[in-house]
Amino acid sequence: MAPPARSACIADVKALLLAVLSAAVAALVPSVSGQTANSPHTLSLAEGAAPAKATLADFAWLTGHWVGTGFGGADVEEIWTAPNGTSMQGMFRMVRNGRAQVYEMVVLLPVGDTVEMRLKHFTAELKAWEEKEKWVTFRLVKHEANEACFEGLTFRGEDDGNTLRVWLVTSQGADRTEQEMVYRRQR
């Protein structure tokens, strides 16, 4: 057993090494403070946390025509325009049994030093779900190359940009469900 003075010195060295290692890890790993898990594949901003910083150019990888399935086997389709001016525009359509069920008009807009997603839902007859001056807003939690995590909504590009996976948290009363849509890029 080491003398008490030596034990105290070893404890001090261990504490110092732990502090240095913690600081190094914190510097190398992106901060995840300000975000919480919303579902297995989606995130939410913690109360009072600021949205992630971004520009429209960070979402250019979404550009294109995407066709796939989701919502229990429905045909889903998204088309995203390239960033131009102060927006990127998207369109979503869901078809089940050969009949359109829902449309969405979507825009990505710079707001301060972040980008937010705003969308309006429409029925097959183009009746808006939201009131005239209202829309649904998704705040940006984080983004990386080929991934964008908005609150309750994640887009991830895979397979060299040919596959797009989208996860969306839907709510019906107190029940929350994560929906997955898998798209293939159309040429």
**d(Cα 1, Cα 56) in Å, to the nearest integer?**
62
> What pLDDT does 4 receive?
53
What is the rounded distance in angstroms from the CA atom of residue 171 to the CA atom of residue 182?
20
Q: Tens of pLDDT along 63-106?
A: 999 999 999 999 999 999 999 999 999 999 999 999 999 999 99
The count of residues in the chain is 187
2-21 mean pLDDT: 44
Say what the pLDDT of residue 36 is: 73
pLDDT in tens, 47-68: 899 999 999 999 999 999 999 9
pLDDT tens digits, residue range 24-45? 323 333 334 476 776 778 888 8
Same domain, 26 and 40: no
Looking at residue 37, what is its pLDDT? 75
Residues 8, 53 within the same domain: no
23 vs 163, which has greater pLDDT? Answer: 163
**Other beta carbons less than 10 A from residue 160's beta carbon:** 8
Q: How many C-beta atoms lie closer than 10 Å to residue 145's C-beta?
A: 7
What is the CA 86 to chain-centroid distance, rounded?
20
Same domain for 23 and 48: no
Q: Which residue has the higher pLDDT, 153 or 3?
A: 153
Is pLDDT of 170 > 90? no
User: Is the domain of 118 the same as that of 142?
Assistant: yes
DSSP state of 127: -
How far is it, in rounded angstroms, from Cα 68 to Cα 154?
16
* Cβ proximity of 158 and 68 under 8 Å: no
Please say whether the beta carbons of 74 and 83 come within 8 A: no
pTM of the model: 0.78
Domain of 59, in residue numbers: 36-185
Both 11 and 97 in a single domain?
no
pLDDT for the residue 32: 46
- Alpha-carbon distance values, 100 to 3, 123, 125 (Å): 79, 8, 9
pLDDT band at 127 (very low <50, low <70, confident <90, very high): very high
- Is 172 found in the same domain as 82? yes
Residue 8 above 90 pLDDT?
no
Shared domain for 21 and 58, answered yes or no, is no
Counting the structural domains of the chain, the total is: 2
